[in-house]
Amino acid sequence: RKCNKSMANWLLRFAGDDVTLSQIDREFCAEFAEYLRTATGPRGKVLAATTARTFWQCFTACLSWAYRKGWIMENPCLRLELNERPHAVQAKKEYLTIEELRRFAATEPEDHNLRAYLFGCFCGLRWSDIKALRWCDIITSDGRTMARLTMQKTKSELFLPLSDSAVRWFPPRESTSDISPIFSLNDSGTANKRVRRAAREIGITKHLTFHTSRHTFATSLLTRGADLYVTSKLLGHASVRTTQIYANIVDERKRQTVDLWDGI
């Protein structure tokens, strides 16, 4: 409702209060989309790209609701090309390069937070899933180790094969209970601080959070030529389009590397 009210205020500024549904056609929607991208607010600031996209999605949802009610014959927003619609700016995803990951792993940390971070770099699980991981979730069969878990974010079940490089970061088992957690972790804020401090000690100045272990896993696999679809399944993504973001990062790194020749 808050989004609806804010979007409505911008719509009123754009079109006034005497516009009828019959006047909202493709051209109107295209002009409103452009307005959201470029108009300035009361303080003279242009809407943030993410906010403009949120308002656009809200506007589109309202017209879809009007269509379902039978008040309009179609939702004209859906006739716009993708490049005509407001888009959020893709946030930069920090990750460790393969060389930085080697340096981090070489420290052989005892801290469970750091071991969990390195485990995440080699398996791609989120903080919440690693924190929830119990010894009973680990299955070993025919020399292969797998983790069976329900992902905390999506609530979908995942059977994740674990490499030896991931399993080596399990801490020594301190409890005989199968339901005891594998990693004894602090809160995420404390864990993030410990990861950044450990990284600084070996000369890595990137703004690392626990989630960068997941980015590291994805980019490392794709850099080494892993299949995009398989990587998507290992990350537990519902759509391969989400994983494509990491592929774009790898492609950009390749272009930057090739461009180094221009300076020789």
* Per-run averaged pLDDT (10 residues), the chain, 264 residues: 76 90 94 90 80 91 94 94 81 87 96 97 94 94 90 84 95 90 92 95 94 94 90 88 83 70 65
What pLDDT, on a 0 to 100 scale, did the predictor assign at position 193? 95
| Residue 257: predicted pLDDT | 66
What is the rounded CA–CA span in Å between residue 96 and residue 22? 53
**152/150 Cα distance (integer angstroms):** 6
At 46 the pLDDT is: 84
Instruction: Tell me the pTM.
Output: 0.67
- Residue type at position 58: C
